[in-house]
Structures are given as structure tokens and as C-alpha cells.
Chain A
Amino acid sequence: MKSTLLVGALLTAMTATSAFAQAIKLADVAELSGGGATVGTNWKNGIDLAIEDINAKGGVLGRKLEVTHADSQSNPGVARAQVQKALDAEPYVLLGPGYSGSVKVTAPLAAEAGIAQIMGGEAAELTQAGNKFLFRTSFGQQSSMPKVAKYIHDEMKAKTVAVVWVNNDFGRGGRDVVVKELDRLGSKVVADLSTEAGQADFAADVGKIKAANPDAVFVYLNEEESARILKELKRQGVTAPLMGETTLIGQKVIELAGDAANGARGHVGLTTDAPVDLIKQFREKFSKKYNYVPDHNGLKGYLAVYMVKATTEKMGKVDPKKFADTLHGLTIKAADEPGILMDVTFSDTGDIDRQSFLVEVVEGKQVVKQVLPKVK
């Protein structure tokens, strides 16, 4: 009897150990504090929600997913150190960071280790450096900015435009593409204003916009700064229509800027207000779990995990070395994998093609005005 018990106990211990060993380990490095805390917290919560969903349904190829979260403090130097630490633990896939500047300095580390990195950065240059292991969860600026410039020129009929951007990799990348496109279309940039990340006082910048008297203002800042400039634009009575990207009309910006966000428009690759049933279900699940409405970064984090799932299932095995090759050129259909929310195709450079939306803030809510189809 004693020996039976002992064997039983041993078997239980061995099963537990093997289940533990079988878990697929992901590593996340995100902006959990500092200027990008809104970005990183949404991203992290999206990841956790997806993992919970997937594990509840039996995991990936019968194995559970596990993730470790590390804080980059919104600082590229810290991000690099955290990514190095995460890679030392040999994860299956690296998730994050969200800031383009942090992605830029960490991508070579992941590539060297041969680990695929699924990140939230949107700077154009990230996928243009020939990195074979880097994948986006949202549009790069080279895909979204031409759509923005076209909208400013064709729909807003703006002959003169003021461009306000944040002086970092993200802001500079967007500014360069949009200014080039506006110039090509024949809209004149009458004010080209760089601002600093974390800037609190926008009185002088808005004063310059007012003096330039443009037909439209293109605002390309991070979330908190977007909220501050929206308030200042309202305070100084600037009436020119405002156009931006997701960072101008995101949920957090609307919450922070209040009334001042009304009327702002933006091109959005991902929004929880999209007229897509699967996204509506995601929003409901997320809001129920975390008690707030996620922004696009919550969606990005969620999609990153489902990209891992779909790619792994396509391979039929957990193989970190073949992961990147399999994801290149892969089309994942929402009908086959509902967690991917919308049909998506990945290019050979890690860029994505997916439908997108034109959104306006009306009475504190994102309202989708147009759906822009997938390019291919």
C-alpha cells in the first residue's frame, strides 16, 4: 500500500513537472511606467486577456501559454536591458515594446538570438532595415500616412496645413512621410512644429499654429501630449479641423482631453469602436475584466498573442527558429481564427495589410465615418 502511494505521488510529481515544461513561454517588454504607461498597460492587459482565453480553450497544440512582463519604463536604454534579460531566458517569441524608439534598439538583439519579435511600434523605418524577425501588430507609417495626407487634401480640402509632431523616432517618421505626401498632393505645410516627449505646456506651439492660420492641423504626438495640445487648441480658440492618427483620438486621449477632443479626426488601423462583431466582443470581454475601455494598444497586445497561436498551428509544432519564416507571407482569416479579429496578411518585411477606419470624435465617443478596405 505504501509503495503504491509512493508510486502515485511520484507519477503526480512527474506529470506536474512535464506539464510545466510543456508550457510555451512568451516574454513581454512594455512601457508599464513613464510617458508610455498608457500604451504599455493596454498592451499588457491585451496579452493577458488573450492568454487567458487561449489557455481556457486548451492552449496552443495542447500546450499552455505563459508570459513574463518586464517594464521598459518608456526608456529605450532600459528596454534594451530588459529585452536582453528576456532573451537570456530563451522565450518562444518576444512581445513588445510599444514605442518605436525602444523597438529600434531592441530589434537587433532579438534578430541575433533568432527569436521573432511581435511589437507595437509604428515608425516607418522599423521594418525597412531588413530585419527578418520583426513583425508589426498595426500599420507602419508608410501605410497609414499616405491615407492621412490623401484625406487632408481630398476630403478636408485643405490647401494649407500645420504639422505638429513629437521629436522622437515615432513622431519624426510620421512627419517625414506625411509632409512628403502633402507636398506631392499640393497641400502646403505652413507650420512644421516639433515638440518634446512629455511636454506639458503647449501655449507657444498653439500660438504658432494660430499665427499660421492653416486650413487643417495635423497632430502627431503621443497620447498624453495629444490630450494637452487638444486642450490648449480649444483654450486658444483654434477652429481649423484637426486630423491625426490613432494617438489623437484614442480612448485615453478622449478621457484626458474631455470636450476638447470633440471634432478631432483620425485614421485608425485598429479601434475598439470598429463596426466588426469580433472587435465588439473583444471590447466587451476586456472592459468586463479590467473595468475600462481599451485603446488600440489593448487590441495590439491581444492580436500579438493570436499571431503566435495562428502561426504555431500553421507550423503544427512549436519551433522558434521556423516561426518568423512561417509568419512571412501568411494570411490569417478571422473565419478560421476568430482571435485575429480581422483578416490580415503579413508581408516579407513583417508589415501588415488589413482594413482600416476613419474615425471622428463626436460627443466624447469615437464614431467610425469610413471603412478603408484591405489593399490586397
Chain B
Amino acid sequence: MSNLFDLLVAGLATGAIYALVAVGFTLLWQTSQTINFAQGEFVMLPAFLMLAAMHAGAPFWLAIILGILLSMILLGLAFKLLLVDPMMRHGVLPLAIATMALAIGLKEAVKQFFSAEASPFPSILPTGDVSILGHAVALQSIGVLVVAIFAVIGLTTLLNRTSLGHQMQAAAQNPTVARIIGVPVERMILLTFLINAFLVALASLLITPIYLAKFSSGEVLGQAAFIAAIVGGFNQVRGAIAGGLLIGVLDNLAAAYVSTQYRAAVPMIFLIAVILFRPQGLLGRAEERTV
């Protein structure tokens, strides 16, 4: 039983990171019909930007700020202006394929400039345990969960409680009408790209101390987050969050109770079941678009 509790906590912590990445998937899809297959590499890159800043002599806190800012410029602004905007007019599929190419490009670039080897990455969270209901729970797991939950609460508050959020919702639901009533649709779309870049940088900061900084580390994350977004509902932020947590827990339980060899298969089987029986996702709604 204590094993189950530990597995749930560890699964929720990993799932919270999947959720952050999956939310980015849905945000980009909702506002610009971008399926970003480089999302995993978007999580890998900020850690290397922070490492580069540290190698240049910046202290860790400054490297984090620089890393997040650079990520927002490269993975938010530049990604939209240089890749999404020119490809968008050719349709969803060419854009999706372009993001696959971007994923390969990012991996190879990191391999070229840093190395193919893994590098250690410092943790912003303290090590050690706290006792919850008689179980020793790692502070790092709790830290990851808390940071991710705050990020998600912040995002949903922005979307649902502020005028800016309402404008983003309007831009996503019906860009033409939104334009007519004076919503700066282009700026709203850019904002979602910047938010996505911020979320992946945050995920990078949380996961890299555990997974290590490596050019290929985005592959697993991107796939897990993509499954999470589809399982939860590709057109709902809350669906992506639920999907992320669910996949994180499912992965850990599968590794413990099914087999380590088949752990990767279990979320896939779950994904197939969801697509067959509830194609809009667990919390998604058919034919509706909202952020």
C-alpha cells in the first residue's frame, strides 16, 4: 500500500510536467491550428540555454531568467514569425511536418554545439523528505507538483478572469468576429506562443535535474505530452491537465504492476481506446474550440 502511495505521488509529479507541456499543445492548436511536433525539443532546449548562461559565468538564478527570456524569444516569437506564419497558409499538415523538421534540427544543433553526452543540471528544489500521512515523500516531487499547479492556476485565471484572457478566448473561438469587435487577434495568437514558450521553459527547469540535460531528452516528453493532450481533449486546457496527470500516474503504475518492458505500451493502448470510444478526449468537446 505504501508502495502504491509512493507511485501515485511520483506519477503525479511526472504527470504535472506532462500537463504543462500538454497545455502548450492545446494552446497552440486552439489559437493557430499548430500541431507542434517539436514540443518535446522545446522542453529540452531551455535547459541548454540555462547551461550555456552558466558556462558563461552567470549564477543559477540569472541563468534561469535568461533561459526563460531566451526561450520566449526563440521558441515563442521566432518560432511564430519564422516558421508558423510562413507555413500556415499552406495548411495544417505542411506546418505539422515543418515542426517535425524543426524537432530534428533542434536536436542536431544541440548535439553539435554541446555534445551528444548527458550533462548534469542543478535543481531549484530542495532534496530531502517530508512525512505525509505517515509516508516519506520527496520534497522534489512535492515541489514539482506545487510549481506546476501554480502555473496552471495562473494560466486558467488569466484565461477566465481577465480581459486579456477573454480576448484570447474570443480570438480562438471565432477570429473573424473577434476582429470585428476590435480584438487584436494577431497579438493574442502571439501571446499564446509566448505562454507556451514560458510553460516549456518551466517544464524544462523542473524535469531536467531528474532526466539530465541531453539532446534526445525531448523525445519521450514530447510523446507523453502529445498522448496526454489527446487523451484529455485536444481542445481543452483542463483536458490537457487531466490527461497529463493521468498519463504520469498510469505510466508509473504500469511500470510497477504490469512490466517495465511494457510500460511504454500501456499509455499507447489507453490512447487507442480513447480514440476509439471517445475521440474528442476525456474532457474535450466535439467541434468546439476554446482556450
Q: Which residues of B contact A38 (CB under 8 A)?
A: 117-118
Are the C-beta atoms of B6 and A200 separated by less than 8 Å? no
Q: Which residues of A contact B116 (CB under 8 A)?
A: 32-34, 37, 41
- B26 contacts partner chain A, Cβ-Cβ < 8 Å: no
How far, in Å, is A279 (CB) from chain B's closest CB? 23
* CA A232 to CA B220, docked complex, whole Å: 18
How far, in Å, is A51 (CB) from chain B's closest CB? 22
Q: Which residues of A contact B263 (CB under 8 A)?
A: 196, 204
Q: Which residues of B contact A200 (CB under 8 A)?
A: 210-211, 217, 220
Are the C-beta atoms of A258 and B120 separated by less than 8 Å? yes
Partner of A33, one of B14, B111, B119: B111
The closest CB in chain B to the CB of A40 belongs to B116
* CA A255 to CA B117, docked complex, whole Å: 12
Q: Which residues of B contact A228 (CB under 8 A)?
A: 210-212
Give a binary string over B40-66; 1 marks a CB under 8 Å from any A CB, 0 the rest: 000000000000000000000000000
Binds B, one of A81-89, A173-181, A206-214, A330-338: A206-214
A37-B116, A204-B255 known; A224 vs B10 contact (CB < 8 Å):
no
How far, in Å, is B206 (CB) from chain A's closest CB? 13
* CA A32 to CA B2, docked complex, whole Å: 42
How far, in Å, is A193 (CB) from chain B's closest CB? 7
How far, in Å, is A53 (CB) from chain B's closest CB? 24
- A273 contacts partner chain B, Cβ-Cβ < 8 Å: no
CB contact list, A86-135 vs B, under 8 A: none
The closest CB in chain B to the CB of A74 belongs to B116
Give a binary string over B111-140; 1 marks a CB under 8 Å from any A CB, 0 the rest: 100011111100000010100000010101
The closest CB in chain B to the CB of A34 belongs to B116
* CA A33 to CA B117, docked complex, whole Å: 7
- A227 contacts partner chain B, Cβ-Cβ < 8 Å: yes
Partner of A227, one of B118, B220, B264: B118
Are the C-beta atoms of A224 and B118 separated by less than 8 Å? yes
Are the C-beta atoms of B6 and A194 separated by less than 8 Å? no
How far, in Å, is A77 (CB) from chain B's closest CB? 17
How far, in Å, is A64 (CB) from chain B's closest CB? 29
Task: Provide the main secondary structure of the chain A interface.
Answer: helix
Give a binary string over B1-45; 1 marks a CB under 8 Å from any A CB, 0 the rest: 011001100110010000000000000000000000000000000
Are the C-beta atoms of A231 and B10 separated by less than 8 Å? no
Q: Which residues of B contact A210 (CB under 8 A)?
A: 3, 6
How far, in Å, is B137 (CB) from chain A's closest CB? 9
* CA A187 to CA B214, docked complex, whole Å: 38
Partner of B260, one of A196, A231, A235: A196
How far, in Å, is B211 (CB) from chain A's closest CB? 4
CB contact list, A226-258 vs B, under 8 A: 227-228, 231-232, 234-237, 252, 255-258
- A355 contacts partner chain B, Cβ-Cβ < 8 Å: no
CB contact list, B202-255 vs A, under 8 A: 209-212, 214, 216-217, 220, 251-253, 255
Are the C-beta atoms of B214 and A195 separated by less than 8 Å? no
A38-B118, A252-B117 known; A205 vs B14 contact (CB < 8 Å):
no
* CA A207 to CA B210, docked complex, whole Å: 16
How far, in Å, is B226 (CB) from chain A's closest CB? 16
CB contact list, B258-278 vs A, under 8 A: 260-261, 263-264
Are the C-beta atoms of A167 and B118 separated by less than 8 Å? no
Q: Which residues of A contact B264 (CB under 8 A)?
A: 196
Are the C-beta atoms of A255 and B120 separated by less than 8 Å? yes
Are the C-beta atoms of B117 and A204 separated by less than 8 Å? no
Are the C-beta atoms of B140 and A235 separated by less than 8 Å? yes
- B256 contacts partner chain A, Cβ-Cβ < 8 Å: yes
Partner of A203, one of B11, B117, B118, B212: B11
Q: Which residues of B contact A52 (CB under 8 A)?
A: none
CB contact list, A30-65 vs B, under 8 A: 32-34, 37-38, 41
- A154 contacts partner chain B, Cβ-Cβ < 8 Å: no
* CA A55 to CA B220, docked complex, whole Å: 45
- A363 contacts partner chain B, Cβ-Cβ < 8 Å: no
* CA A201 to CA B119, docked complex, whole Å: 16
A203-B10, A210-B6 known; A227 vs B212 contact (CB < 8 Å):
yes
Are the C-beta atoms of B3 and A208 separated by less than 8 Å? yes
16 residue pairs of the A-B complex, CB under 8 angstroms, read: A32-B116, A38-B118, A167-B260, A193-B260, A200-B211, A200-B220, A201-B210, A201-B252, A203-B7, A203-B255, A204-B251, A204-B255, A204-B256, A207-B256, A224-B212, A255-B120
Q: 7 nearest interchain CB pairs?
A: A203-B10, A204-B255, A37-B116, A33-B116, A204-B256, A211-B3, A200-B211
Given contacts A37-B115, A200-B220, A204-B263, 15 further A-B contacts (CB under 8 A): A33-B111, A196-B260, A196-B261, A203-B11, A204-B255, A204-B256, A210-B3, A210-B6, A211-B2, A224-B214, A227-B120, A232-B210, A235-B138, A237-B136, A256-B212
